[in-house]
Amino acid sequence: MPSTAPTVALNSGSPKGQAGLDAAALKREFPILSRTVNGRPLVYLDNAATSQKPQAVIDAITGYYTDINANIHRGVHWLSQQATGQYEAARESARRFINAEFLEEIVFVRGTTEAINLVAQTYGRTRIGKGDEIVISHLEHHSNIVPWQILCAELGATLRVVPINDAGEFMFDEYVGFLNERTRLVATAHVSNALGTIMPVREIVATAHARGIPVLLDGAQAVPHMKVDVQSLDVDFYTFSGHKMFGPTGIGVLYGKSSWLNSLPPWQGGGDMILSVSFDGTVYNKPPFKFEAGTPNIEGGIGLGAAIQWLENVGIERVTAYEEDLLAYGTAELLKVPGLKLIGTARHKAGVLSFTLEGIHPHDIGTILDQAGIAIRTGHHCAQPVMDRFKVPATARASLALYNTREDIDDLVHGLDQVVRMFR
């Protein structure tokens, strides 16, 4: 079934991309990108692991600690009121960013991993039983595999895995055949972290819903690169992490339809997730607070709010167009390197270039590039089943963000040419 995602056309386009985004100017807003590594200017191409942070985000976090540091939701004093206001403003920013209908649908968590585990331990334990099935894809990050494996082992349920083709694309016809009266949940990535494949999520959700099956989408690799509208997708649960989208680590979002969040039990017990407590029993708070026990990552929430506002000011549609152009340029240039093979050639991709070099281990590639100040990721990328599918132990992965430029790609290609010369 066709995806609604944009197709990457293999043409070089203009230096600033179709949207006229000035990546070189944006790069200057990120202090770390002006530094040198091993005596060379840093070329940072590990954005799928974590993105760098603009000064606006750094300032927001510093401002919290220097000006209003206090616990939230509890105090009547001025500092607590200010901190609470900024933290809850960040929740509103997240709601607006993904177009959730209600503020109560935005639950702050540590990141995508915790969000998926939260759903597994609340929805999973109350809606899934022996003989039931959960459907995922072969493209998943370990965070969207292991929680379901644990749940299935405990409950006697079955995990079913939709295959991918040689291009790294989700096999939609097989997916349709997997859905049956025992399917209780579909959980897939929106974008593959290992290959960059953009999944046909609109069709995945619609097909599951036609059979009364809820859907969770792992959006960690989607939200920094494309517009996400959870109401338009009609998805039941959507997750993402702050640190992948220019925000701090240790903060993320679980979106859940209010109908689900109101019906599910809390995950953890403690302060702030209650309305009243006695030794005879506890009355739980309403969502989202029902799922946010204890003192949260306050500075992380405020930093995430700043990152969202910064990204909205840049314009997510402009980012998408620019990165499409940069991916096309990078794909064409990498294919000029002797012995290089791209792993993951889906028609619809985000800015991930996973590759191998004939006869050279990816770790050696990464080590030599690091000596030239070029940061890429090597290994299985927390997606070992993907590596097994392509019969490779690991890949080298260059992943793009809005501050990367064609010059970064050129430096990468020059570095890879040096790697080839050294080993041959």
Contact 73, 88 (CB under 8 A): no
Q: Which of 70, 167, 293, 382 is catalytic?
A: 382
Q: At 275, which amino acid appears?
A: L
Tell me how far apart the alpha carbons of residues 320 and 306 are, in angstroms, rounded to a whole number.
20
Cα 395 to Cα 341, 390, 405, distances in angstroms: 10, 10, 22
Parallel, antiparallel or unpaired: strands 133-137 and 158-162: parallel
Query: Which two tokens mark 364?
Result: 């050696």
Let me know if 382 is a catalytic residue: yes
Instruction: Give the CA count within 13 Å in the CB-facing half-sphere of 378.
Output: 16
Q: How far apart are CA 218 and CA 382, in angstroms?
A: 14
3-state SS class at 292 = coil
CA-based R_g, the chain, Å? 22
Structure tokens at 351: 């800015």
Coarse DSSP helix, strand, coil percentages of the chain, rounded to the nearest 5 percent: 40, 20, 40
Cβ neighbours around 381 below 10 Å, total: 23
> Cβ(337)–Cβ(286) under 8 Å?
no
- Rounded Cα distance between 108 and 101, Å, is 16
Within 8 A by CB and 6+ apart from 175, the residues are: 135, 137, 162, 204, 207
The Cα 82–Cα 373 span in angstroms is: 41
Q: What is the DSSP letter of 348?
A: S
> Residue 189: enclosing H or E segment and its boundaries?
strand 183-189
- How is residue 6 written in tokens? 């944009």
CA gap 416, 337 in Å, rounded? 7
Distance of alpha carbon 302 from alpha carbon 63, whole angstroms:
10
Catalytic annotation, residues: 382
